[in-house]
Amino acid sequence: MKKIKNVLITLMVLAILHSCGNAETSSTESNTSTTDKTTEALEQAPEVAQTPTVKILGQSDLASKLTEENVLLIDVRTPGEVSDGYIKGAHKFININDADFLPSIDELDKEKTYVMYCRSGGRSGKAANIMVQKGFKDVYNLEGGILNFKGEIAK
C-alpha cells in the first residue's frame, strides 16, 4: 500500500512539473507588447519614498566603517559604564537614560552616518530607531555592543 501511495505521489509531481515546463507564449509579438506595457506602467508609477531603517553593523565591519568620511561612533551607555571603558574612537557619549538624550540627538547633523553602541546592543538599537524616526538617514547599531568588541578599549 505504501509503495502504491509513493508511486501515485511521484506521478502527480511529474505531471505538475511536465505541465509547468510546457507553458509557452504564443508569439514574440505578444511578449513585446507585454514588455512595453510593463515598462510604460513602471514609468508612470509614482515614485515611492523609502523609509530609512536601522542597519546592523557587524563587529568585524566596525573598523572599516569608522574610516569612512562623516561617520560618528556614539556610546549610549550610562556614565558609570563608560568609566569602565569605551570603544576607542567614540565621538560622543549620550546616555539614552538621561533626560537630555532627545535634545542631544536633535543637535546632531542628520546628514552624517552614526554607529550606535551600548553594552549588548539593546539600548543602542532603541537609540538608533529613535534617530531614524527623527529623520536620520544613515544609522547603524553595533551588533553585540561593547561586550562583543575585540578591539582597543579606552578609559
Check: pTM over 0.75? Answer yes or no: no
The two beta strands, 113-117 and 138-142, are parallel
Q: State pLDDT tens for residues 43-68.
A: 665 665 566 899 999 999 999 999 99
Active site annotation includes 118? yes
Q: What is the pLDDT of residue 112?
A: 97
Of the residues 54, 87, 118, 127, only one is catalytic, namely 118
And the C-alpha cell for 71? 561617520
Concatenate the DSSP letters of all residues of 99-114 into one string: TTHHHHHHTS-TTSEE
Look up cell 556610546; give the residue. Answer: 75
Q: State pLDDT tens for residues 116-144.
A: 999 999 999 999 999 999 999 999 999 99
